Amino acid sequence: MKILISNLQRLLFGDLLGGVGFLLLLTFCILGFFGPYLPIGDALTIGAGPRLGAPSMEFLLGTDDLGRDYLPRVVEGIGVTFLLSSIAVVITAVIGTLLGMLAGYLHGFTDSVIARFADILLAFPALLFGLLTSAVIGPGQLSAIVVISAATIPLFIRVIRSVTLSVAEREFVTAAVVAGASTWRVMIVHILPNILGAAIIQLTYALSVSMIIESALSFLGLGVQPPDASLGSLLRLGSVYLTISPWLVLAPGIVLALAIMAVNILGDSIRDALEPLRGRPLT
């Protein structure tokens, strides 16, 4: 655990690109969380300005088709997209880590059942699963969370299972089993701390995939519903007026691209920090 913390500190203070990704992601998180309290206007006030108004000093990102200030709408979209993606990723991390450890440590029938479960989820395209989920429980934020979790859990299970298989063969795990430690104690005390690095790396990549899926679902009308806004729903609105008001697409599109880029850069930097020897030539 101390090595993990030391490597993460080196990431934040020693890796320029990783630090930039971290600061950019932190900025988006702060904007999304504190957006409603910032003096940037109300995201729901209709007729605050002219319909489809161009960016100006009064409305920095212009106005939408109902005359609403687009800046607070984009800030609200950041918060909603990050919130839904983060909730789904936390669910994925908890369930995926647990199932991956069970599959990698217990082997046999348990491993086969969990592996087949992951294969079944992986066989469903996220958008198709989104249509099925929306038909059952209706479109909305709950549907988006369910679809994102179902789409990201299979890869999480596979990664954690693979790492657990190698850790389970280590001497300290064998010694714990010989000493009479229970299955749950072995997994929580001895295996979990040694797979946290892989789990954190996979968590960052799952977050970027989650934002893409959430935006796609909201773009198709299966995710966040009006009057709430997410980056995907703002892109859907902007696509209708793309030829006359391209800023309605550019603002949420650039923010979404930067957010995904920041998460991927941070994930690569965390991987390099936790596995510093990977990719180095042998001497």
* 57, pLDDT greater than 60: yes
- Find all residues with CB under 8 Å of 101, minimum gap 6, and list them: 160, 161, 164, 187, 191, 192, 195
Q: What is the pLDDT of residues 80-123, one digit of tens each?
A: 999 999 999 999 999 999 999 999 888 888 889 998 998 888 88
Amino acid at 255: V
Backbone angles phi, psi at 209, to 5 degrees: -65, -40
* Least reliable range by pLDDT among 30-39, 165-174, 188-197, 272-281: 272-281
Mean pLDDT score, 11-21: 69
pLDDT given for residue 258 in this prediction: 93
Of the two residues 2 and 215, the one the predictor is more confident about is: 215
* 130, pLDDT greater than 60: yes
Mean pLDDT score, 37-63: 87
Average pLDDT, the chain: 85
Give the count of beta carbons closer than 10 Å to the beta carbon of residue 254: 11
| pLDDT confidence band for 13 (50 / 70 / 90) | low
* 5, pLDDT greater than 60: no
Buried b (16+ CB within 10 A) or exposed e, 218-237: bbbebbbbeebbbbbbbbbb
| Per-domain boundaries in the chain | 2-32+66-274
Looking up tokens 């003096």 gives 39
- Residue 105 near residue 168, CB atoms below 8 Å: yes
Query: What is the share, in percent, of the chain residues with pLDDT greater than 90?
Result: 30
pLDDT given for residue 12 in this prediction: 55
Question: For residue 278, which of 198, 207, 162, 199 has the smallest C-alpha distance?
Answer: 198
| pLDDT confidence band for 8 (50 / 70 / 90) | low
Mean pLDDT score, 239-267: 90
H helices present in the chain, as ranges: 2-14, 16-34, 70-106, 108-123, 126-137, 141-168, 171-178, 183-185, 192-219, 231-240, 247-274
- Residue 31 near residue 40, CB atoms below 8 Å: no
Mean pLDDT score, 221-233: 88
Amino acid at 144: A
The CA distance from 108 to 87, in Å, is 32
| pLDDT confidence band for 277 (50 / 70 / 90) | very low
DSSP 8-state class, residue 42: -
pTM of the model: 0.84
The CA distance from 154 to 120, in Å, is 9
Q: Which CATH topology does 2-32+66-274 take?
A: MetI-like fold (1.10.3720)
Mean pLDDT score, 117-134: 84
The CA distance from 99 to 164, in Å, is 11
Mean pLDDT score, 146-152: 90
